[in-house]
Amino acid sequence: MAEIATFGAGCFWGVQAAFQRVPGVLDTAVGYSGGHTENPSYQDVCTGETGHAEVVEVTFDPAKVSYEQLLNVFWQIHDPTQVNRQGPDFGTQYRTAVFFHSPEQEAMAKKSRAALEASGKFRRPIATEITPAGKFYRAEEYHQKYLEKRGVASCHF
């Protein structure tokens, strides 16, 4: 039985590309979550007024890849200490976030964040929010698998 994980780690194009390469990931979709506006467009989200983050919804087979393994990928592909930005992209839509779909995911995400914080890997505190997954709004089709469509392997990680 497939499960869903939702992550915000900056611009969703590169985040999607990274998760697509993980064995056991069945599908990915980019979109918007964590906001208060119904059916936001990319232009709406870019204003910073909808409250949404750019996210990747990951459908995975837990028999082949664990949620903990997906969390490890999440921590590795972005700087979780940056508040409302990743690289050259800034705004609340680029915040670092884990949107959990179950109490088990919440517990694993919090444990994983605490372990990363305790590891001393970063000089600044981890800024990643861990919040319940709300409604996921799929982004416009031209955003789906954007880098793959253009033959590019990654963004600016």
Q: What is the CATH number of domain 3-149?
A: 3.30.1060.10
The per-residue pLDDT for 93 is: 94
Structure tokens at 43: 């232009």
| Three-class DSSP category at 70 | helix
**Inter-residue contact 85 to 126 (CB < 8 Å):** no
Sites in the chain below the pLDDT cut of 50:
157
Rounded Cα distance, 6 and 15, in Å: 11
Task: Give this prediction's pTM.
Answer: 0.93
Q: Which pLDDT score is estimated for 28?
A: 97
Domain residue extents for the chain: 3-149
Where do the H-state alpha helices sit in 91-131?
A: 103-119
Angstrom distance (rounded) from CA 73 to CA 70: 5
pLDDT at 76: 95
pLDDT at site 143 = 82
CA atoms of 115 and 52, how far apart (whole Å): 27
Whole-number pLDDT of residue 65: 98
Task: Give me the active site residues, please.
Answer: 11
pLDDT at 152: 66
